[in-house]
Amino acid sequence: MRIQTVQGDITKQTDVEAIVNAANTSLLGGGGVDGAIHRAAGPELLKECKTLHGCNTGEAKITGAYNLSCKYVIHTVGPIYHGGNHGEEELLANAYRNSMQIALEHGIRTIAFPSISTGVYSYPLEEAAEIAVKTVKAFYMEHQEGFDYVRFVLFDDRTREAYDDAIMKLSNM
């Protein structure tokens, strides 16, 4: 299985065709990963995002990447965590699954994900990492011929460790 983790800045990935943006429902930029992607891509990204009329939680949409090194940005909206009893797990899994589906439909063979919903949306990191890895692995295994690799680009040591632990845990099952 070609699922990787690296620590770093997702906007600096030079060897993937698409990066995934942990966006808000407006798709018009924000803080964290979303703001960094919009700043790095330039104003053309915002202009294209305005034509998409937002995105519902758990869904995904695709745009060009403009000043980024990749070809595409896949925008997905993860859930805001409200204790875990409001469908958050399913919505988070859908954000990853729908991003993978868009990549598959567009012939994108290499994709990089951030840790969706674990910043200002307050999803517990270890739980989110397990959902992300489990969902991406399942989709990857169903469509191996469609992907060369999937990479999680994680901002700090703690986040990378949580994703590495989730990968290890899943590989031992």
Cα separation, 173 vs 124, in Å, equals 22
pTM for the complete prediction? 0.97
Cα separation, 76 vs 95, in Å, equals 6
Fold of 3-171: Leucine Aminopeptidase, subunit E; domain 1 (3.40.220)
> What's the pLDDT tens digit per position in 121-161?
999 999 999 999 999 999 999 999 999 999 999 999 999 99
Domain positions in the chain:
3-171
Annotated active-site residue 34? The verdict is yes
**Of 9, 15, 34, 157, catalytic:** 34
pLDDT given for residue 173 in this prediction: 59
Cα separation, 49 vs 51, in Å, equals 5
